[in-house]
Structure 1
Amino acid sequence: MGVLSNKIDREELKPGDHIYSWRNAYLYAHHGIYTGEGKVIHFTRAAGQEIGTGTVLDRFIFSSSPSNPLGSPCPRCGDQSRLEGVISSCIDCFLHGGNLYLFQYSVSPAFFLAKARGGTCTLATSDPPEDVLHRASFLLQNGFGGYHIFKNNCEDFAIYCKTGLLVNTSISVGRSGQAASILAAATAVVSSPLRFLTTSCPGLAAVGCGIYCVSRLVSDIGIRRDVDKVSVEKLVDCLWLRCG
């Protein structure tokens, strides 16, 4: 595991690890918290039950509810294909035939930028495994609110479990590195008038790449200042008040 790939073997997993697996030809990744004994707690959305992006992305990003890669109900989990919210699945259902990757914490800015694809690492520091597992188990019983692709997704759930950090502003993107990458790419495109500052295509590419990298970096949960450490009990209380 390193700059080129976060892929790991199952034997290397430890309880409290933040893991993920790519979906739909590497279009996006599904994230969760490994709890030991081959089980994963993760935040899912069932088909037709999520809040979409309102963009063309909704044609490509499908349900993240787990299912047995063999197509029949899992002997350990049963049929979870229509479930939503925070659930516990065996690692086979979580991976759905994909490879296993470990999300990395406390990386350097240089390493973060070298991992150009968002949703694989963060500068933020992980809390001890016992805190991570407590948050994940508590949210399994009490929920994590409504699923939203940009504001409250599976990566947001896993990062909260690992760090206890929540965004305290009403901006459109949560803690997810995948969502931040989409925003950064959009920012680079919107900033295309900067092409007039360059004299060649390589120059334009360099400007666009720079905008993308800076946007990703300042959006990372380990850099942002609009975040607070929130206990899982307080988070759930706030969710209940919001729904009440």
Structure 2
Amino acid sequence: MGLLSNRVTRESLKAGDHIYSWRTAYIYAHHGIYIGDDKVIHFTRRGQEVGTGTVLDVLLLSSAPARSQEICPICIPSQEDHGVVVSCLNCFLAGGVLYRFEYAVSPALFLAKARGGTCTLAVSDEDDVVVHRALYLLENGFRCYNVFKNNCEDFAIYCKTGLVVVDERTIGQSGQAVSIIGGPLAAVLSTPLRLVTTNVYGMAATAVGVYCASRYAADIGMRRDVVKIQVEELTGRLATGLLQVIEPQVSMNLAPQSTQIVSQ
């Protein structure tokens, strides 16, 4: 993985890779799981969606499929309406560039990637487990789409790690969602400095520090409000709210210094 880019070639892909491609003038990226044979399973807005009620509902169209004059024989629309679909790699990329999301990166490299949604401190599970989760969710769905709590990146991260955020009142696993929120948050928190200084550089440094700290603390590899759950149990547990009653335990499956909640 390069410091500035996670761009990869098609030939380097293997089943179980978490891939993405930027959409909407690099405002947002669409994420999915490559399962081999030139196919990608990804989470789209096809099903019921919880909107933000803001202009972001118009801008963040990362999951909208590319329209074409020709019908792709591989990407025949599913009859299901839960939003998890399988596409060929060309249709997934929609003319964009191919990138691979990286796992178990060092804290230094994570912070050097100023843009969220490209890597995580969390450790990925084995490739065959990742593909199994993606295939299962293709048949059974992945909850309701929400741009900040349950989007395409959340789907791909779950497939790679098996982790789900427990508290539905907080933001999901998505690094790019944290980046979108973290920028304005950093600006707001650094504003009080104007009362004691007019040094633009000092305020800028504070804003950058707040932004980096928020990204680091919100990364799925550092959070304590997560549960690891088998994909076969995911739908039922989420529907009954059983994730809320699981006790935290220390696990070695995440990045160093992180804690994980595991299913009983």
TM-score, L = length of structure 2: 0.85
**SS of the residue 1:33 aligns to:** strand
**Comparing 231-240 and 30-39, the one that deviates more:** 231-240
Alignment of 1:68-217 (within 5 A): 70-78=68-76, 85-191=83-189, 192-217=191-216
The question of whether the paired residues in 2 share the 8 Å contact of 1:119 and 1:155 is answered with yes
Unaligned runs of 5+ in 1: none
Q: Deviations over 1:63-105 (max 9, x none)?
A: 614235x54321321357x965111110111000101000000
Which residue of 2 is the match for residue 24 of structure 1?
A: 24
The question of whether the paired residues in 2 share the 8 Å contact of 1:67 and 1:73 is answered with no
Shift of the 83–65 alpha-carbon distance from structure 1 to 2, 3 Å rule, reads: farther
- Distance (whole Å) between structure 2 residues aligned to residue 71 and residue 101 of structure 1: 26
Shift of the 75–163 alpha-carbon distance from structure 1 to 2, 3 Å rule, reads: same
Shift of the 195–224 alpha-carbon distance from structure 1 to 2, 3 Å rule, reads: farther
- Determine whether 1:60 maps to 2:59: yes
- Distance (whole Å) between structure 2 residues aligned to residue 146 and residue 221 of structure 1: 20
Which residue of 1 is the match for residue 37 of structure 2?
A: 37
The question of whether the paired residues in 2 share the 8 Å contact of 1:124 and 1:223 is answered with yes
**SS of the residue 2:105 aligns to:** coil
Shift of 1:170: 2.7
Q: Deviations over 1:105-145 (max 9, x none)?
A: 00011101100000000000000001101111111110001
Shift of 1:172: 2.9
Shift of 1:171: 2.9
- Distance (whole Å) between structure 2 residues aligned to residue 154 and residue 209 of structure 1: 27
Q: Where has structure 1 moved over 6 Å in runs of 4 or more?
A: none
Which residue of 1 is the match for residue 249 of structure 2?
A: none
- Distance (whole Å) between structure 2 residues aligned to residue 46 and residue 24 of structure 1: 18
- Distance (whole Å) between structure 1 residues aligned to residue 157 and residue 127 of structure 2: 13
Q: Deviations over 1:39-61 (max 9, x none)?
A: 000000039x5222222212312
- Distance (whole Å) between structure 2 residues aligned to residue 186 and residue 106 of structure 1: 27
Which residue identity is paired with 2:222?
I
**SS of the residue 1:158 aligns to:** helix
The question of whether the paired residues in 2 share the 8 Å contact of 1:122 and 1:220 is answered with yes
The question of whether the paired residues in 2 share the 8 Å contact of 1:33 and 1:41 is answered with yes
The question of whether the paired residues in 2 share the 8 Å contact of 1:126 and 1:163 is answered with yes
- Distance (whole Å) between structure 2 residues aligned to residue 64 and residue 190 of structure 1: 30
**SS of the residue 1:20 aligns to:** strand
- Distance (whole Å) between structure 1 residues aligned to residue 14 and residue 222 of structure 2: 26
Q: Deviations over 1:158-198 (max 9, x none)?
A: 00000001111133310000111122113212212133354
- Distance (whole Å) between structure 2 residues aligned to residue 71 and residue 121 of structure 1: 35
Which residue identity is paired with 1:161?
C
TM-score, L = length of structure 1: 0.91
CA RMSD of aligned residues (A): 1.9
**Comparing 145-154 and 233-242, the one that deviates more:** 233-242
**Comparing 28-37 and 198-207, the one that deviates more:** 198-207
**Comparing 7-16 and 58-67, the one that deviates more:** 58-67
